[in-house]
Chains A and B, each alone.
Chain A
Amino acid sequence: MSATQTPPKPSNSHMRRNPPIPGEAEAILAAQAGDAKSFEFLYALHKRRVYSLCLRMLSNVAEAEDLTQEAFLQLYRKIGTFRGDSAFSTWLHRLAVNVVLMHLRKKGLPQVSLEETLEPSHEDGPRRDIGARDLTLSGSIDRVTLERAVENLPPGYRLVFVLHDVEGYEHNEIAGMLDCSIGNSKSQLHKARMKLRDLLHSGQRKEVA
């Protein structure tokens, strides 16, 4: 999907994470009329969310900053088309996702090769849990630990995990964004969670040792 396309309506599940923000509606109207202070207010409101999204999808500070800038430049160009059919933050974050995906496709790196990311080799796939395991994760990991583990996911897994589990997109939305089937999105998510579980267990074993 092109970043220049108008973001589609989000699902209700995504709306739950984007409640209205005081002063935002007035700022949107003023920014649509060209008021720079209001645009700056909107930037201040949403910069962390957009940047965090970019950083988690890319795991690269320089690229995340460049694409945050690009996402807000797109916002500047498109804010006049925002009609309030969905929460502004939902609309903006979808726009940011599209900016990141377009960037990845332009780079032509393996992380956007669906063959590679959605149909990894057997060695890249999730290991089954048939053998013995002496540690359990439940109750033992915090957000910082998980954040670090997400950084170490293979790029294709990371994309789907961030979109689904962190950002709250549904599989049908992700399938549309990545131009893949819903089954592939589910499969990638499962592999991402299994890989994270492996990474987190490895971290625990290192702490114990």
Chain B
Amino acid sequence: MMIQMRDQMEKSQQAPGGSPAMTCEEFQDQLSGLMGSGIREHEHLRSCLRCNALLDELEYISEIAKGLLPTHEPSDKVWDKLVESIHQADPPAHGGEYPPNGFPPQSKRGG
């Protein structure tokens, strides 16, 4: 009985300002499944400043990530090699030239 009480007290001490019902460790172990709508209503967060701060930071990272723009530009050689590979995969019929507007029409394509 005494051991159980001591364990309970230790668990409570692991949650600074938190609910004895769930320690920070226990809450964070379950966090991946809890993330999303409604997590802010979780009982542990009503009284745990540390886990609230952790959640703020994880949501902040996610928000910044949503704003990552497609800023990277491929080099010009990507287009050149692409055209080359299209021509290799789809040579002009009867050994002739490509039409002035470019690639063979869809109906002639393989692959």
Contacts and interface: CB of A to CB of B under 8 A. Distances in A.
Interface of A: 32-37, 39-40, 43, 47-49, 51-53, 55-56, 64-65, 68-69, 72-73, 76-77, 79-80, 128-130, 133, 136-139, 141-143, 146-147, 150, 161, 165-166, 168, 183, 186-187, 189-191, 193-194, 196-197, 200
A52 B61 contact: no
B85 A73 contact: yes
Interface in B43-96: 50-51, 53-54, 56-58, 60-62, 64-75, 77-79, 81-82, 85-86, 89
Nearest to A81: B106
Label chain A's interface by main secondary structure: helix
A129 B24 contact: yes
Shortest 4 CB-CB contacts between residues of A and residues of B: A36-B102, A190-B32, A34-B105, A165-B65
Interface of B: 14, 24-25, 28-29, 31-33, 35, 50-51, 53-54, 56-58, 60-62, 64-75, 77-79, 81-82, 85-86, 89, 98-99, 101-106, 108-111
A86 B11 CA distance: 51
Contacts of A189: 32, 35
A47 B105 CA distance: 22
- Prevailing SS type, chain B contact patch: helix
Contact of A65 (B24, B67, B75, B89): B75
Nearest to B79: A43
A51 B78 CA distance: 10
A43 B78 CA distance: 10
